[in-house]
């Protein structure tokens, strides 16, 4: 199930979870100052940024692929 999870979908789920938590906090009457809001925003943006930076991209061809001719285009 997680093999079909894309980077964009994971970040969308993260932001949806953050929005739900913020809405729940306001519904419960939590008071958020400007400083607290800025810190929470920064902490909410760190995981998606790390996900973008560390998500594996296309793997370069190995020596076996190059020597064996795995990429045979017509």
In this predicted structure, the answer to whether residue 40 has a pLDDT above a threshold of 60 is: yes
What pTM, to 2 d.p., does this model score?
0.59
Residue 73 — pLDDT band, cuts 50, 70, 90? Answer: low
**Residue 30: per-residue pLDDT:** 81
Which of 53, 55, 52, 25 minimizes the C-alpha distance to 40?
A: 25
Delimit the domains of the chain by residue range.
2-68
Q: Which of 27-31, 57-61, 64-68, 70-74 has the lowest mean pLDDT?
A: 70-74
Establish how many alpha carbons lie within 13 A of residue 16's alpha carbon, considering only the half-sphere containing its beta carbon. 6
């Amino acid at each position: 199930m997680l093999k079909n999870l894309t980077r964009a979908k994971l970040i969308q789920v993260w932001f949806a979870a953050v929005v739900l938590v913020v809405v729940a906090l306001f519904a419960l009457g939590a008071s958020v100052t400007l400083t607290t809001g800025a810190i929470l925003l920064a902490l909410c943006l760190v995981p998606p940024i790390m996900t973008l930076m560390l998500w594996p991209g296309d793997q370069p061809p190995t020596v076996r692929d190059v020597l064996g001719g795995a990429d045979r285009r017509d």
